[in-house]
Amino acid sequence: MRKNSSALRSVYDIDDEPIGEGTFGVVRTGTHRLTQVVRAVKTVAKGHPKTVESHRREIAIMKGLNHPHIIQLFETFEDPKNICLAMELCTGGELFDRIKEERRFAERPTAVMVKQILGAVYYIHDTALIHRDLKPENFILQNRGPIETNSLKLIDFGTAAECAKGRFCRTKVGTLMYMAPQVLMGRYDYKCDLWSIGVIMYVLLCGHHPFRYEGSDEALAKKVRGGLWKFAGDIWDNISEDAKNLVKGLLRISTSQRLSAEEALRHEWVKQQAPQPTGEELTEAIGERLLHYKVRNGLEQAALEIVAGQLDEEKINHLRTAFEAVDENGDGRITPQELCVGLERAGVQYPHHEVKNLFRLLDPEGTGELNYTQFIAASLDRKSQLSEDVVWTAFNVFDQNGDGRISKQEADSVVQQSRIRLSVSTDSLRRLMHEEEDEKGEGGISFEEFKEMLQKKRSNPSTSDGSHAVE
């Protein structure tokens, strides 16, 4: 993600008709003039300095998030009046609207949605964040297709805050219908989000809230504070005991007894109704690309991770499902052990040192995990997926001043500002740029050189220990 110094309308053609409106902004579609990629562009009026600070904090939070069920932020713009966010475009509308259409959902599609919600929340909790306003309005669907094959995206991090485990927050924030009792009491932790998920699950299964609004916020708040709810209506007679047990586990008044996202993902109902993929999603072709991932230099690796973050998810659905098949515990990260198990389950033959090589390349900081973007970057089919428009989009992320060449300063800037943690040093970029200047007799890298670097098939030599080095 980068902060673009250009004016929004010099980069995007903005549709006048809003596709969404919220408390703090209006969302319209924007077509990137150079690449023709369509994004969702949220425009927020600056207003009071405290409001500006809040929006900048939200952008900083979104910049660090990297999960298949959290909305992607690509770039931001700022002028004297507005802050604008260019984000991933999802065409399926809010989960709230789908609930209004369907009234209620069967257990299997509910489980698919709840699993995705829990995965996103497990991930943000693991980064010491809490959302504090989980509700159907803050989840959007990737497309208008069936729930079972769709992808939910968590949006709106305006209320998110840092709250490491063992710490507490006191600000009363959120939406009363979905608010945990502890939030109303003014002392709460990350488990407040799990209460909200319990309310969402209740609504998905029966079509109404566990806490009925009866004329005043005060009366509703009293019910919530007391945890006064029940399985109301005959509809619950036809819902499994496992489903009801999970709702109970999420809507426990005591936070010490309330399930965490990790525990809820291991619940029997989730495992039965939305089981872990069988492994077929991680095909032999994807496995081979992962194990034989090679890059010539730091810029190539950085560019591939930028490409992976910019791709239209409709085009990489098969890679998302492969990622989720390997991510067995649902935390949004893949460990070497999970990848080995996933490869074995998919019937892919591999030497163990190749898995170590992959992690050495993509995870030089030694975290022991691959994030979503790193996985996509390594498993891309460069021949079919790195089309000219995709490469052009990535090139323009680097070419910040629009002069048609990538300079050392621009490459450094992208690495520093990137939405993802690029596993490449600025020194390696400087060395590469110096080499390019010597070879070409001119500064920086052109689009044609950039495209050739990404699309050309490499046959890189291995280092003595079998790894493929990044310069």
DSSP string, 63-103: HT---TTB--EEEEEE-SSEEEEEE----S-BHHHHHHHHS
In order, the DSSP letters of 209-255 are -SS---S-HHHHHHHHHHT-----SGGGGGS-HHHHHHHHHHS-SST
| Number of CB atoms found within 10 A of residue 365's CB | 8
Residue 293: helix, strand or coil by DSSP? Answer: coil
The whole-angstrom separation of Cα 277 and Cα 272 is 11
Instruction: Provide the CB-side half-sphere exposure for 423 (13 A, CA).
Output: 24
- Backbone phi, then psi, for 20, in 5-degree steps? -170, 150
Per DSSP, the three-state class of 334 is: strand
Residue with token string 């619950």: 236
d(CA 26, CA 420): 26
Contact (CB, 8 A) for 84 and 179: no
List the catalytic residue out of 133, 156, 189, 363. 133
Residue type, 241: E
> What DSSP string runs through 420-432?
S--S--HHHHHHH
Q: Is 133 considered catalytic here?
A: yes
Distance separating alpha carbons of residues 259 and 249, to the nearest angstrom: 6
Please identify every residue annotated as catalytic. 133
